Structure 1
């Protein structure tokens, strides 16, 4: 894979312009875009900046993070607070994402989606109101392991960190999760599966392919 240097500002503009030109698959009225990456890669920051750029261009956009769709602590920590298998395949409520986010954006959907469901701090439902994404708008979903779930995506962006950068930028208390990201690289091969790949080892000097 050939990666080319780029600035974050230019990358945001390139992605926003690409989404403006992209047509939803299967006759849908909404674009569905994934910003995949470990928390240390900060895919949510990029998703938010692209959403701002889209709105500046007159296109509706809604950012949704998988951290707002965690399962309750009783399920996440059933096998301990640092169980790698649970983190990899059981922390995030993908069923709720299908029901509350992707379902309403199907061709016959209402566009009325839930931006988040569960607060991990209080371990209670957020009770956030539904929001309606205008027809022609874009859903920008961000979080880890997104390319493992067969979500109906029109574009996938993977923000990649090398093992050394991932170790360096992951807080010590969260380094037990690194085994899950090694497994994800092996099983999902996100650098090959994604439409756009961004190398973010140096947060000041990204490189990309797409």
Structure 2
């Protein structure tokens, strides 16, 4: 058998195993089922994967490769926070498209992190580091990465297992924005929040008798705050 035929046989086995597991689950998929679907004999499967655990690990590695290919092809924009939102959405969408595979990759079926998951974490860390460099992160990069990763995986698994339960509609978006609010500085608030803050400062200025600003500086400051406070109606 040529190298190309070896590769084709291995890919057929992986594809068959992934499809069968998606339909019947891990326990419902046997080596014999995989052999029948892939058109190979049991010794061929054992040759490439040794046993069912080896086959499962290969399916997970193949899943991570597909997942990471999507992330690698996603170009960075000028806004790292929006890149983080896109990364979150892509992660959740992948899990919902491949629920059984995602369970193998991140769920309780695994007791240790697959080595390929480290690349996904590096991609996330790069985005979070850009956010930190922009002065928009309120905590160390390592802490933010752990929080974001845990929340993304948790939300995805919950949507997979309880998609039709009350309160699931919009769960990913709500969780994402709550996490962003916890890791980003308040200066990255939406424009509505900025206009409210500007109006609050104007009211504080009106009640403050002594200011460490000259009359000219104070006039300019008030003018700028006034513009910001009206920003929702002009933008």
Same fold (TM over 0.5): no
Please, what TM-score do these two structures have when normalized by structure 1? 0.27
Identify the structure with bigger relative contact order (alpha carbons < 8 Å, sequence gap 6+). 1
Normalised by the size of structure 2, how large is the TM-score? 0.25
Q: Which has the higher helix share?
A: 2
Q: Which has the higher strand share?
A: 1
